[in-house]
Amino acid sequence: MKDTYTLADLDSGKPAGAAEANPIRLGVFGDPVAHSLSPQMQNAALEKCGLPMNYARFQINADELESALRLLPERNFMGVNLTIPHKLAGAALVDELDGSAQRVGAINTVRVDGEKLIGFNTDGAGFSRAIRSEFSVDLRDLRVLLLGAGGGAGRAIAVQCAAEGCERLVLVNRTFEKAQQLAAELRPSFSDTRVSGPVSRLEAVPWEEHALRFQIANSDLVVNATALGMKRSDPSPLAAALLAPHLMVYDTIYAHARTPLLTAALEAGARTANGLSMLLHQGALSFETWFERDAPVETMRRALASAA
């Protein structure tokens, strides 16, 4: 198998060649895609379950996405994952969206059903499972402060928090209007009053130290869904002085074991986890979507740990 395939490979039918013992029938489309750890995780799951096929990386740019998706049924694919920058565009190109994908307006998983393509979003549910496995708590019992509410991952997480009825949700985003817009959209899910004290269940707050200090004092879980921390030179989105020992801090970034935010959180005495568990659980849910059976999560976790 090659490290990365292209649209031309998919078009020629080469990767899915029926002559191969384990033809490629799953993959991830992205641009860039070379960093993706999904092949290691999904191929370990396929092998563990005795499913005779492979999962591969496909370097597909925005202009190629529609053609690549339309080739999937005739190339006998089970489905694909979509990553940056295809999650929003993909939702408009498939034939049907399941409930989670409709709510988020973006997809990370496509399942081929005969000639039809069905879109799913497993990022939010994957995040929820990650929080349960990292901190042994359910989202519905948490007061959540979400940084990066205007991005794709942030939106999927916010929609999941609303669907599970979390105790309270504070939306923070560099471009404040996007957080305000999302708050307006999610308002109906937070109509009953469950928290007591000087705070409301759903708020969009500007990215300002004073406002954040007050909100963090009234939160249990702080989530980073911004891109801040992807580069080694990035600053922490929150200073250690704003964090406190009562917090759980989850960084969706998995490129580094310890991001600047997690370093600051550990300094403040908080509990921390990085985004590898979200990657694992969104991938396990994709596997379950394609095969309608439980995913071998421990096998996938071990494959990710040795690839990361």
Closest CA to 176 of 201, 208, 210, 202: 208
What's phi and psi for 29, nearest 5 deg? -100, 125
Q: How far is the CB of 23 from ligand NAP (least distance, A)?
A: 27
Query: In the complex, what is the shortest distance from the CB of residue 89 to ligand NAP, in angstroms, rounded to a whole number?
Result: 12
Specify the residue, 119 or 154, whose C-beta has the smaller distance to ligand NAP.
154
- Of 16 and 153, nearer to ligand NAP (C-beta) is 153
| Beta carbon nearer to ligand NAP, 10 or 159 | 159
Minimum separation from the CB atom of position 288 to ligand NAP (A): 16
- Catalytic, 2? Answer no
- Burial status of residue 235 (CB atoms within 10 A of its CB: 0-12, 13-18, 19 or more): exposed
The residues with which 272 forms a beta bridge, in sequence order, are: 249
* H or E element, residue 180: helix 176-186
From CA 112, how far away is CA 64, in angstroms rounded?
A: 18
Those residues with Cβ within 8 angstroms of residue 36's Cβ, 6 or more apart along the chain or in another chain: 28, 30, 57, 83
CB count in 10 Å sphere of residue 198: 7
Q: Is 263 exposed, middle or buried (0-12, 13-18, 19+ CB in 10 A)?
A: middle
Nearer to ligand NAP by C-beta: 27 or 150? 150
Residue whose C-beta lies closest to ligand NAP: 151
Rounded distance between C-alpha atoms, residue 160 and residue 125, angstroms? 7
Query: Least CB distance from residue 115 to ligand NAP, whole Å?
Result: 29
Binding site for ligand NAP (CB under 6 A): 84, 123, 148, 150-154, 173-175, 178, 225-228, 230, 252-254, 275, 278-279, 282
- Out of 2, 87, 116, 231, pick the active-site residue: 87
CB of 221 to ligand NAP, least distance (A): 15
Of the pair 16, 33, the CB lying nearest ligand NAP is at: 33
**Catalytic center residues:** 87
